[in-house]
Amino acid sequence: MSVRGSNRKVNRITSGVCMFINGLGTANPPYRYSKADCWEAFKTSKWFQRLDLRSHMIMETVLKKDNGIESRSLAVESLDEVFSIDPDTLHGRFLDNAPALGATAGGAALKEAGIDASAIDGVVISTCTGYLCPGLTSYVIERLGLRTDVLAFDLVGQGCAAALPNWRLAEALLSTGSCLNVLSICVEVSSAAMYLDNDPGVLISACLFGDGAGAAVLSRHQNPQRRSIEWKGFASLINPAERDALFFETRQGMLRNVLTRTVPRLAAGHAQQVLNTVLNGANLKPEDISAWIMHAGGRDVLIALQNQLKITTEDLHYSADMLRLYGNMSSAFIYFVLQAALKDNAKPGWWWVSSFGAGFSCHGALLKAA
């Protein structure tokens, strides 16, 4: 499949330094809601009267039929709060929840890695659902008790794709010799980027996204007490010609997610190009991949990936399982999928990780699992 505007070289990097994933952690708000819960809350909200009949039909179709998602964690004690949509409320929701979620996931990753917070030399945090200055690193450093001389980087604007660029920056920090351990965190409070109008893409987006955070301890040396997962190669494809297919815009001081019908096709086409680039460079074939750790934008995206990459439903079951349980958590999603594969003791060998999102962008990483 050709991708418009993407006849450019895919940027491939063969890792020149050892980087191991020594610990993983995830976190969600304590409040979980089913599709049925969301539909009932929408019907009784003021937005039901504000939106037109076509919008009612779209919301009912997405929330009452199989869309690959059964429940989502949202940072609200009641779904009534979701429909309070104004800039101050949404910013307050992000401020109240993003630092806590990021620190909880980060603390879990540190515990699994078996290291103290003082051993972290760098911290990289990605988000796209809110803005703070100073950034989230300031809050997480404080909450986790990281050293005050830690190298801290806040990354924004990469959307669902952000996890792998985050890890690539961690690899660069490790390669300089200035860091032995980097804490990577992606945290998204999608309920803080809530927006509703009669645009079908906006409505579908409101039904897909959940709140969550993922974290990884990325280190130059393997932790001998845990399974070896080593980063071996990386590639990126940034295609600005398709920028309008998926992005946030600001309206009335709030983030509005623009989601178009072309996203599944674009995700699959870009994912194919990035996969081919890395596998060809490593003299591997798709059948050499023993575990697929894929971002799931939604059910239709997973179907497109399966068809494009010529893999099976079983190959994507970790992604499908996490989508069903948590919805699309944007950049944090990949951590949950990788965690699921590790908990399931997925087959050793070559693992493929891929994320894609705003831009239009796609990234892929080759891991070697012992």
Predicted confidence (pLDDT) per residue in 11-31, tens digit:
555 556 799 999 999 999 999
Sign of the alpha-carbon torsion through 166, 356, 315, 332: positive
Write the burial class of residue 192 (CB in 10 Å: 0-12 exposed, 13-18 middle, 19+ buried). Answer: buried
> Which CATH number is 23-219 given?
3.40.47.10
| pLDDT surpasses 80 at 6 | no
Average pLDDT of the segment spanning 252-259: 94
10 Å CB burial of residue 18 (0-12, 13-18, 19+) is middle
CATH 3.40.47.10 residue ranges in the chain? 23-219, 227-369
Pick the CATH number of 227-369 from 3.20.20.10, 3.30.70.120, 3.40.47.10, 3.90.650.10: 3.40.47.10
Cβ atoms of 230 and 348 closer than 8 Å: no
> Average pLDDT, stretch 235-242?
96
Type of residue found at 93: R
Q: Which of 14-28, 90-104, 153-167, 219-233 has the lowest mean pLDDT?
A: 14-28
User: Mean per-residue pLDDT for 216-244?
Assistant: 95
CA distance 216 to 365: 15
Task: Say which DSSP state 310 is in.
Answer: T
Tell me the Cα Rg of the chain: 20
pLDDT for the residue 325: 97
Residue 359: predicted pLDDT:
87
Q: Which pLDDT belongs to residue 17?
A: 76
Q: What confidence score (pLDDT) does residue 10 get?
A: 64
pLDDT tens digits for range 105-130? 999 999 999 999 999 999 999 999 99
- Please give the pLDDT value at position 2: 46
Interatomic CA distance for residues 163 and 186, integer angstroms? 6
Phi, psi of 249 (to 5 degrees): -125, 160
| Average pLDDT along the chain | 94
Give residue-wise pLDDT tens across range 142-200: 999 999 999 999 999 999 999 999 999 999 999 999 999 999 999 999 999 999 999 99
**In whole angstroms, how far apart are CA 270 and each of 168, 237, 290, 319?**
18, 7, 21, 18
Tell me the average pLDDT across 327-348.
98
283: left (phi over 0), alpha (psi -120 to 50) or beta: left
Given a contact cutoff of 8 angstroms between Cβ atoms, the answer to whether 188 and 325 are in contact is no
Interval 353-370 mean pLDDT: 96
Nearest-angstrom CA–CA distance, 100 and 136: 10
Q: What pLDDT does residue 3 have?
A: 52
For helices 333-343 and 317-326, the axis angle rounded to 10 degrees is 120
43-89 pLDDT, tens digit per residue, is 999 999 999 999 999 999 999 999 999 999 999 999 999 999 999 99
Distance CA 118, CA 360 (A): 37
